[in-house]
Amino acid sequence: MVYLRGDLIALASSGSAISQFQDPALTYQQTVSFLAQMPQNLRAIETCREAATMVMLISVALLVGSGVKQRWGAFLWTFALWDITYYAGLWATLRWPASLCNYDVLFLIPVPWYAQVWFPLLVSALSMLAVALSRSNSHS
């Protein structure tokens, strides 16, 4: 949602309420407040984008796996790879996050989830490690 924050700041007049969110290193409470003040139509677009991403990841898992365990592994692997690539892309293009301690809105579905950036990166790395170890154990 950092790119939406940037768009809103660019569109906002200097005296608007949204201008307080110009600092990319927002606290947890500021991040929650930012999401609450986001126009509903932009939040709906972001929710649809998030749902489309999940449909794509589930579709990949269903296509490449032949059983529940393989499909679950494929889903975890692609989700983790997507998440790490997403943050790498944000950093490469926007230089955000400036720190792994920056807060982000991780999900909107089913309810908003907030955390520092290091958390989803750690979960993604651990997920990929678990899938890789599970795969190597099943081939032994």
Rounded to an integer, the average pLDDT of 133-140 is 81
> pTM value?
0.82
SS3 6: helix
- Which comes out higher in pLDDT, residue 104 or 138? 104
Closest among 66, 36, 47, 42 to 108, alpha carbons compared: 47
- Which comes out higher in pLDDT, residue 106 or 140? 106
Interval 59-69: pLDDT, tens: 999 999 899 99
